[in-house]
């Protein structure tokens, strides 16, 4: 018929529903830019935000382990990565020069081991830590887990006042080492470490065995959060022999009054098969993370949300770890 059309009316497109709003934003302290803490914090924040529809995790750059412990204790951040040594001593008010008890931080899970790696120039012919007297050693950022562990170790051996410590970060330390401004540098991080790789590419290095001095001086008995570890030969250029040293443990922690559900769902997201696969692609140190190792090396009590999570996975929780 005139005026009629056989064409169907245009289709109207139904708009796609918007994702539900994130109704809880939480902060997650990592560490210095480019460090392992930051790699982990950024990836963990992304995984949790992707998997838990009502959580938005925002990462914060920080000075490292001690700053994270202090901010968690004061509820200035919600989650963060802290070395076991700082958590253990901080809870007891035994950090050097700081009698405060940092007892409002709770553990969620063990993440990875962080070996102490002391790099010196090969041409210095240093054979033991006692040969470091008079040397200038870069030990990490002020207040970082690396700097605190170096001071702890050298004080224990009565060497702290016999060396010249420089509190600078790993990247700066490697640059100063290459330029001949320092005789050695100390890192506390999973291996291989990019700063050591950079230094070894420019000059011949030696990575010192620290374990013999630790055993001979009763270091492990006084600081039970440290354990022996071996860095395999050929991890770095010029390193033809295994290195016998000690390691601290990087822990995922939260403030004590953080929501139990937020902690539970965050753990559920990270320790899911998909979460672990994503995390293990981020850094070599993440390859050992699993449900089986989740509460190893914890020196402070678990958060109630973590107790519920690990109990649901039939992990036996020692009484000392209960809140």
Query: How far is Cα 96 from Cα 85, in angstroms, rounded to an integer?
Result: 12
The β-bridge partners of 83 are 250
pTM for the structure as a whole: 0.83
Rounded Cα gap, residues 286 and 170, in angstroms:
20
For tokens 């224990």, the residue is 156
Q: Which domains does the chain have, with CATH numbers?
A: 24-111+250-321 (3.40.190.10), 114-248 (3.40.190.10)
Q: How far apart are CA 297 and CA 78, in angstroms?
A: 22
* pLDDT tens digit sequence for 215-258: 999 999 999 999 999 999 999 999 999 999 999 999 999 999 99
Provide the pLDDT for residue 174: 96
Per-residue pLDDT band for 67 (boundaries 50, 70, 90) equals very high
Greater model confidence, 275 or 1: 275
- The yes-or-no verdict on residue 311 having pLDDT over 90 is yes
List pLDDT tens digits, range 10-28. Answer: 444 555 545 556 789 999 9
The gap from C-alpha 237 to its chain's centroid, in whole angstroms, comes to 25
Distance CA(295)–CA(290), nearest Å, equals: 10
Q: Are 159 and 128 in contact (CB under 8 A)?
A: no
For residue 20, the model assigns a pLDDT of 52
What percentage of the chain has pLDDT greater than the value 70? Answer: 93
d(Cα 87, Cα 70) in Å, to the nearest integer? 10
């Amino acid at each position: 018929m005139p005026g009629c059309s056989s064409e169907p009316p245009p289709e109207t497109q139904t708009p796609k529903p918007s994702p539900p709003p994130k109704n809880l934003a939480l902060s997650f302290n990592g560490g210095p830019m480019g460090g392992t803490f930051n790699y982990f914090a950024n990836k963990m924040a992304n995984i949790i935000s992707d998997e838990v529809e009502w959580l938005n995790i925002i990462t914060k750059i920080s000075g490292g382990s001690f700053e994270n412990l202090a901010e968690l204790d004061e509820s200035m951040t919600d989650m963060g990565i802290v070395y076991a040594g700082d958590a253990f001593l901080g809870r007891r008010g035994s950090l050097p020069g700081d009698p405060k008890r940092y007892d409002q931080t709770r553990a969620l899970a063990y993440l990875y081991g962080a070996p102490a790696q002391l790099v010196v120039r090969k041409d210095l012919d240093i054979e033991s830590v006692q040969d470091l007297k008079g040397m200038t050693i870069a030990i990490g950022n002020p207040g970082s887990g690396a700097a605190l562990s170096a001071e702890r170790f050298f004080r224990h051996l009565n060497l702290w006042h016999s060396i010249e410590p420089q509190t600078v970060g790993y990247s700066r330390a490697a640059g100063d080492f290459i330029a001949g401004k320092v005789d050695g540098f100390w890192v506390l991080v999973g291996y291989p470490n990019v700063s050591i790789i950079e230094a070894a590419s420019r000059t011949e290095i030696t990575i010192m065995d620290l374990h013999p001095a630790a055993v001979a001086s009763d270091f492990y008995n006084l600081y039970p959060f440290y354990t022996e570890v071996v860095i395999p030969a050929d991890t770095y250029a010029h390193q033809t022999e295994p290195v016998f040293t000690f390691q601290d443990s990087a822990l995922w922690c939260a403030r004590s009054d953080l929501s139990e559900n937020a902690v539970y769902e965050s753990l559920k997201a990270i320790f899911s098969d998909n979460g672990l696969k994503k995390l293990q692609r981020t850094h070599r140190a993440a390859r050992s993370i699993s449900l089986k190792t989740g509460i190893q090396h914890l020196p402070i009590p678990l958060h109630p949300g973590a107790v519920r999570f690990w109990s649901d996975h039939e992990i036996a929780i020692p009484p000392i770890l209960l809140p």
